[in-house]
Amino acid sequence: MTQQPDILCIGSVLWDVIGRAPSHMRVGSDVPGRITRLPGGVAMNIAMTLRRFGMRPALLSNVGRDAEGDALIAAAQGMGLVCDHLYRSDDLPTDVYMAIEGANGLIAAIADAHSLEAAGDKILRPLANGALAMPAAPWAGPVALDGNLTAELLREIATSALFGKADLRVAPASPGKAERLLALLGHPSATLYVNLEEAGLLCQTTFASSAAAAAGLIARGARRVLVTDGSNSASEATGTDIITQTPPAVMVTRVTGAGDTFMAAHIASEAQGMARDAALARACQAAATYVSGEIP
């Protein structure tokens, strides 16, 4: 039986292939280490985290009809993610992201999300054909949308009636793709989740604080934004005010994924009816707990 989701995660769902070595690495290094494969892609990461916070996300993406795709869907279903609405392409392979991490941090990464880009608006069919929604009754719940979609598709979403009633929560896929989100900046029901660097890229400037960045994005037409800045304060801004809070101090053992944890905790807190201050505090706390190495 198809499970009814309470949030849609739209964007990349792929395999992360991560090579990790304990040594300091540079261009051309060839060192012993470990290579692992785990479910990834921004939409998938957000969905996995939302699930931990008690929500029931459905994935909208392209997954190939290949062995990698079958294994990825089995992993997602095992975590309780709704996979019934994924587009399974016969000719587009499952996407993959590859990163090399040394003792000195991320050395380099390549995101091959070409199949998602090629699938285009086919991934959105369940929002029009009645499977999840239809033009006469558009999806009226939360949507976590990632910036792996092409700028063209993001522009279409920004004006589509299929998203006219949705509570859009938007995350960039990487600093390199941050500018794709410009199409959604003026969307009347979009909330943007960005870090300080991404806020600067969207506004073509640099900001000294999350509050300044949040104000800058509102000035550029955003309806609501949340800006994080690592251990420094995080801010939420609307057209009327800005609230700012400082995450609790913790010992950092991991950083990748902090932004996803912040966003998922914030969305889940609001879905549970928490007020703005409380939701921001819970998101800061959850992401700080995550970077400290614990599971929030």
Ligand X SMILES: O=c1[nH]cc([C@@H]2O[C@H](CO)[C@@H](O)[C@H]2O)c(=O)[nH]1
Ligand Y SMILES: Nc1ncnc2c1ncn2[C@@H]1O[C@H](COP(=O)(O)OP(=O)(O)OP(=O)(O)O)[C@@H](O)[C@H]1O
- The length of the chain in residues reads 296
# residues near ligand X by CB under 6 A: 15
Select the binding partner of residue 252 from ligand Y, ligand X, none (C-beta < 5 to 8 A, by kind).
ligand Y
- In 121-164, DSSP assigns E strands to 142-146
Both tokens of 75, joined, read 């992993």
- Contact region for ligand X (CB under 6 A) — 8-16, 118-126, 185-193, 236-244? 8-16
Rounded Cα gap, residues 57 and 50, in angstroms: 7
**Which residues, 6 or more positions from 244, have their beta carbon under 8 angstroms from its beta carbon?**
210, 211, 233, 234, 235, 236
- Contact region for ligand Y (CB under 6 A) — 63-71, 122-130, 150-158, 249-257? 249-257
Examine residue 230 and tell whether it contacts ligand Y (CB under 6 A).
yes
| Paired strand residues for 225 | 192, 237
Both tokens of 117, joined, read 């880009």
Other CB atoms within 10 A of residue 88 CB: 16
- Contact region for ligand Y (CB under 6 A) — 59-67, 84-92, 236-244, 259-267? 259-267
Amino acid at 235: S
Q: Residue 45 or 94: which CB sits closer to ligand Y?
A: 45
Rounded Cα gap, residues 214 and 225, in angstroms: 6
> Scanning residues 180 to 209, which ones bind ligand Y (CB under 6 A)?
195
Examine residue 21 and tell whether it contacts ligand Y (CB under 6 A).
no
Examine residue 228 and tell whether it contacts ligand Y (CB under 6 A).
yes
* Residue 262 near residue 285 (C-beta atoms within 8 A): no
Examine residue 242 and tell whether it contacts ligand Y (CB under 6 A).
no
Q: Residue 1 or 295: which CB sits closer to ligand Y?
A: 295
Name which position in 169, 177, 180, 282 contacts ligand X (CB under 6 A): 177
Q: Residue 167 or 236: which CB sits closer to ligand Y?
A: 236
Select the binding partner of residue 227 from ligand Y, ligand X, none (C-beta < 5 to 8 A, by kind).
none
- For residue 34, give the nearest of 94, 96, 99, 95 by alpha carbon: 99
Examine residue 174 and tell whether it contacts ligand X (CB under 6 A).
yes
- Contact region for ligand Y (CB under 6 A) — 135-143, 144-152, 178-186, 229-237? 229-237
Match 């392979």 to its residue by tokens: 93
Q: Which residues bind ligand Y (CB under 6 A)?
A: 195, 228-231, 234, 247, 250, 252, 255-260, 262, 284, 287-288, 291
